[in-house]
Structure 1
Amino acid sequence: MTMLLIFCVTKNVRGEEKNGNPSAPGELIFLLDTSASMNAQDRDREAIDAIRQAAYSLPSDYRVGLVAYNTDIQTVIVPGTSAVQMEEMLAGITYTGYTNAGEGLAQAVGLFSGDSGASDRCIVMLTDGEIDMPDSGAREASRALYSEAALQAREQGVRMYIVAIGTELTDPRLHIFDGAEVTDGAIYWEGQSGSLSGVMRRILEERIGLPGAPLTADGAGDSLPEERAKSAFPEGGLSHARPEGGTVVLNANIPKGVSRVRLALTSEESISGVQAGQAQVITGQHFAVVEAVRPSAGTLSVSYQTPDPASVQAWMIPEYDAVPAISANYRIEELPRSEKEIKRNVPPAYEHYADLELRLLDVSGDASGGALGDASGYAGGGANIWEDERFEGMEVSFTVNGTPYTGIIQGGSISLTLRAEELKEVTAAVSMADEGAVYRIRGAEPVQIEKFPDPEFEPLPDYRPLIAILCALAAGLAGLFVFWMGRRTTVIYMAPSPLGDGTKTASKAGEYSGKLSMYVVRNADGKDIPPQTYRLFGRRARRLTLGQILTSCGIKFDKIGADDIILYPGPDHAVIVMDQSEGCTVMRGMEILKKGMGYPVYYNGKITVSFEDEETEMELHYRNLKPGEREEL
């Protein structure tokens, strides 16, 4: 029978930077008691199996070593030893001799590197008893060395986690447990704290802060702390029955752009028959680790057999090898100017910006290091890791030219705008505070900002000289106009003579002569108005209205058309009369004047005007002045 279990990463838990994106790989040294008493306490060599389980479950860049001790040091596996050589050395370990834990701890502390920036530095000690040597002197020397080495471990920031194997180490006050207390570590008892496989898994998850995320079906993750289990596992899960000799299939979702995936399976029961396609599989009595290098995004299927599928715990660690990629676009913005500044041709001020776009590129297949070529391309870089949907909306800490910022991933990138006046190049560093994966992020090459000059200022034309010239010209034209007005001639259309068509007669200024004798024949109120005389001689040659003449003589009529009867000076001492009224009737002698036509009236001529009210009528007699009248003027 085949059983299918579908597992998924349920949540990307964020934590401290040391867990999500360590500045340096962690270091873990196993300290294994291989004294003769272990033959009784660890008949099935499950302690060595638990060490293998932990070593293969850690991220690939973790520094792992081992010291196996009895009366003397039996085996030392220095960090960086190949997996094949480590397997051979573990297989060669035998349980014999006494328990010289002092020398063993001193050797273990000496295996740590001098890099104090390692994210975690731990010793996991597996032992079944107190320090025991052939004689009391050697025993006390080992105890003293053990205490001294524990103090050195504390000074180096190394914590000790002691796993008590078997049934003899039941008193927590034993001297062997001082190492955990001095280094602020912890003690686990086999059986009470779970099987050796379960204890090792708990140490990795609870104490070391194993990156990655649990994969769960029904019953998985029960040993996690309550608050972490709630965030890491969904409610419910898939229920399943106990298969009878069947195969369990686990399907794990692989993120986009991941360079390596480690999937660890642990169980209280045995795990066998593990298959995972082309991925590498490492198995033990109670564990299996599947490692896929540069897997395609999608599903990783793992099949295995176990007596109790519900006891299987699954943990997946995605690993990313990446480099930040930053592009920079230079931008200039003109600051607004006031109307006064614009009129004065004050040059505008500009602000300069660099619009940055930050991505994280996969370089796991790039031996050159994935250096950036320029701002417009990403030489050597692979896929943009942040395009995977799990990163959308994630907050990321990063630096630009050493200045820290935080940003939100949107559409596979983070945008940032900086003032660029003093900015010549930019370089970025990214810190992924994400417990759900391991990030090895390389340094990026600086990107030059391609700047261009500010727009050339083009001042508005200065029209002031032109305005001055135009003003002078206008003044000259105005003077000419005034002069012309004083010298102008008036063109009047004269009424046609009986011999031909109407002609145009020019009347020059200053040619008025004679006088008008005016008689009001009748008016609307019936009052008598005495005759009046209006001298034309000596007046400027300009247009006169009958209304103006009457007003100057003290004769006041209502608006009955007097202002629309016009007089002009004419040739040969004539005065030209023009009727422009709507309702008046003007007669020269017995001839009625046509509207808008000029009629010359000579000395002793008579003009009769019947006004628009049809009640007022007057006569105008045009006469020459007597010599005495001219002298009076």
Structure 2
Amino acid sequence: MLFIGLSLLFPARVLAAEKNEINEITEKKQIIFLLDASKSMQGDGQWIEAADSACMIASALPKEYEVALLVYNTEIVYEEDFGNINQKTRHALETVELQGYTTPAVALETAADMFDSAAADKRVVFISDGEISLRDQSETETAIRQFENMVDQIAEQGIKIDMFAIPNDKTENEVSYGTKVTSGEQYTVGENQTIEEITAKYLFQTLQIEKIELGEAVSGEGNMTVDLQDTYMQNAKILLVSGENIEDFHVAGQCESLNMLQGNKFAVAELENPLERQITMDYSLENRGNVHTYLIKEYFLKADMEKSYTSEEGTFTLKVNVVNHQEKPVLDSETLKDSISVLINGKEASYRVENGTAMVPYQTDETAKVNVEIAIQPSGNVVHYIKTADTVELTVPVVEEEPDYTVLWIVIISLCAVVLLLSVLYERKKQKKTMVRRVPLS
């Protein structure tokens, strides 16, 4: 029996959703900051700290988030729609005049109308001392009831209210009612934490944004070479947070575009499509102080797969390709390779990488259906990837055996032998008859 080795290539099957572009956000999240611009926020640096906090979070968040901003007292005095917060916004907030009384219900109602109903996560973040006040007690009580009614409506819409509370010994925090009803987060400035520290906690703990900590220092100036580890991300953000005012902040590196936003005590540099791994950064502070530096990298990845079969070994090979938003294979990167797993029937499978493709062996001697899952762990990075599982049918090809002609040849040879034998016997018999005829008569 002759067994012929085959190598059969099956059509590619896309495991990531084909309907979505590789850099399309599948689950949009929205945050609206509500900044209290009433007279009670005129404390030492409170307003600028509030402006810094909102702008820092807006500039550091990954692309799945959309951020808007409303500034209010008894009415909306300044606003930025989703996606418009930038350095111009930060400069504009410095010119806002803090005055008048406070009725946050109007800001909350405006925010509720701004949200996209399809957003997967909707949050309102108050930065306020929590005061609700009007000209007299009766009007104030009415404003408090209006706010509480609005909070109840917000809760029914699935909107969560968070708060950065700035303590004011002269007023009661009425706005905290919103965090209690919607199960939101409330951070209080001054409870052994600055508003800069609260902002970082909100970003990395409450919102759980993946990041890499580049270091902490106490200095008046510094410089650093940041290793991005690879250039497969769509964007890389370097975030500097200081306890003192930042005077200068510079970032240099090859990329398609560089966007920067700087406040008093924070700075963010966003590098779109970096072209090199090594980025240099330097800064100087007004006074010597604590400096925290973070790296936020954002990837858009997709995967597809092919399968081949070698009958000599009875082995299938699953060929998994993972590419970024520029269609570049990412398995050549050691940092990304370690975060990508291939699971077959729920168990992690080993693989080798050839020319940027993961080669996953799977041995079977009969047709089988297996569940293939490609999982990508963030490992400190923001990774946009639709985690999918696909049932793949591994069909063992039926290999036709070469016919065995042995019996046929035996029959043919036997027949030939019989024919030959009969021919010989016939010739001998014929010769005998001829000899008999030639015998002379006596």
Query: TM-score higher than 0.5 here?
Result: yes
Query: What's the CA shift for 1:26?
Result: 2.9
Classify 1:214/1:169 alpha carbon distance in 2 versus 1 (closer, same or farther; 3 Å): farther
Aligned to 1:285: 264
The answer on 1:265 being equivalent to 2:268 is no
Structure 2 residue aligned with 1:196: 195
**Distance in 2 between the 1:188 and 1:141 partners?**
27
Q: Where does residue 67 of structure 1 map in the other structure?
A: 70
Q: 1:35 matched to which residue of 2?
A: 38
Give the corresponding residue for 2:126.
125
Cα distance change of structure 1 residues 252 and 472 upon mapping to structure 2, 3 Å threshold? closer
Pair 1:207–1:407, CA change in 2 (3 A): farther
Equivalent pair of 2:73/2:100 in contact (CA under 8 Å)? yes
Q: Which amino acid aligns with 1:37?
A: S
Corresponding position: 1:439 with 2:383: yes
Q: Report whether the alignment pairs 1:324 with 2:323.
A: no
List runs of 5+ in structure 1 lacking aligned partners.
1-20, 219-239, 336-350, 365-380, 482-633
Match of 2:403 in 1: 459
Instruction: Tell me, in whole angstroms, the C-alpha distance in 1 between the residues paired with 2:396 and 2:152.
Output: 62
Q: How many Å separate the matches in 2 of 1:45 and 1:79?
A: 21
Q: Give 1:287 shift.
A: 0.8
Deviation, structure 1 residue 200: 1.2
Rounded to whole Å, the distance in 1 between the matches of 2:224 and 2:251 is 10
1:394·1:409 contact (CA, 8 Å) conserved in 2? no
**Residue identity matched to 2:308:** Y
Which of the residues 58, 61, 66 maps onto 1:58?
61
Q: For residues 163 and 85 of structure 2, what CA distance do their matches in structure 1 show?
A: 26
Map 1:515-534 onto structure 2 (within 5 A). Answer: none
Aligned equivalents of 1:414 and 1:309: distance in 2?
50
1:142 aligns with 2:151: no
Question: Could you tell me how far 1:75 is from its partner in structure 2?
Answer: 2.4
Local SS of the residue matching 1:45: helix
- Please give the secondary structure, in 1, of the residue aligned with 2:186: strand
Higher relative contact order (CA 8 A, sep 6+): 2
Q: CA deviation at 1:63?
A: 0.3
2:165 matches 1:164: yes
Give, in angstroms, the shift of residue 316 of structure 1. Answer: 0.9
The answer for the alignment partner of 1:177 in structure 2 is 176
Q: Give the aligned residue type for 1:180.
A: T
Structure 1 residues 80 and 217: CA distance shift in structure 2, 3 A: closer
User: Residues 398 and 289 from structure 1, CA distance in 2 versus in 1: closer, same or farther, beyond 3 angstroms?
Assistant: farther
User: Does the 8 Å CA contact 1:69/1:101 hold for their aligned counterparts?
Assistant: yes
Tell me whether 1:210 sits opposite 2:201 in the alignment. Answer: no
Question: Shift of the alpha carbon at 1:127?
Answer: 0.8
Is contact 2:216–2:290 with CA below 8 Å preserved after alignment?
Answer: no
CA contact (8 A) 1:324 1:443 kept: no
Q: How far apart are residue 84 of structure 1 and its match?
A: 5.7
Pairs within 5 Å for 1:260-409: 260-277=235-252, 279-306=258-285, 311-326=290-305, 328-331=306-309, 333=311, 355-364=317-326, 381=327, 383-396=328-341
TM-score w.r.t. the length of structure 2 is 0.73
Q: 1:138 to 1:407 in 2, by over 3 A?
A: farther
**Residue ranges of structure 2 left out of the alignment (5+ in a row):** 1-23, 426-442
Q: Distance in 2 between matches of 1:58 and 1:320?
A: 13
Q: What amino acid sits opposite 2:225 in the alignment?
A: N
Q: How many residues align?
A: 387
**Corresponding residue to 2:117 among 100, 114, 118:** 114
- CA distance in 1 between counterparts of 2:29 and 2:97 reads 28
Paired amino acid for 1:390: T
C-alpha contact (below 8 Å) 1:70/1:100 kept by paired residues: yes
- Structure 1 residues 409 and 265: CA distance shift in structure 2, 3 A: farther
Aligned residues of 2:298 and 2:381 also touching (Cα < 8 A):
yes
Q: Which residue of 2 aligns with 1:619?
A: none
Contact 1:267–1:287 (CA<8 Å) still a contact in 2? Answer: yes
Cα drift, residue 151 of structure 1: 3.1
- Output the CA distance in 1 between the equivalents of 2:117 and 2:360: 38
Structure (1 or 2) with the larger CA radius of gyration: 1
| d(CA) in 1 for partners of 2:39, 2:350 | 58
Match of 2:226 in 1: 252
Mapped partners of 1:208, 1:113: distance in 2: 19
Q: Secondary structure at the match of 2:282?
A: strand
**CA distance in structure 1 between the partners assigned to 2:331 and 2:171 by the alignment:** 51
**Equivalent residue for 1:502?**
none
Shift of 1:74: 1.9
SS at match of 1:294: strand
For the aligned residue pairs, the C-alpha RMSD in angstroms reads 4.2
Q: Per-residue displacement from partner, 1:108-143 (whole Å, max 9, x unpaired)?
A: 23322222434xx33221112321123445433432
Conserved 8 A contact 1:41-1:128: no
8 Å CA contact 2:339, 2:377 repeated in 1: no
Instruction: Tell me by how many angstroms 1:409 deviates.
Output: 6.8
Q: Displacement of 1:317 after TM fit?
A: 0.6
Q: Tell me, in whole angstroms, the C-alpha distance in 2 between the residues paired with 1:288 and 1:407.
A: 43
TM-superposed CA distance for 1:322, in Å, is 3.2
Change in CA separation of 1:181 and 1:467 when aligned onto 2, cut-off 3 Å: same
Higher strand share: 2
C-alpha displacement of 1:198: 1.9
Alpha-carbon distance between aligned partners in 2 of 1:97 and 1:408, rounded to the nearest angstrom: 66
Distance in 2, matches of 1:22 and 1:407, equals 29
1:203 offset after TM fit, Å?
1.3
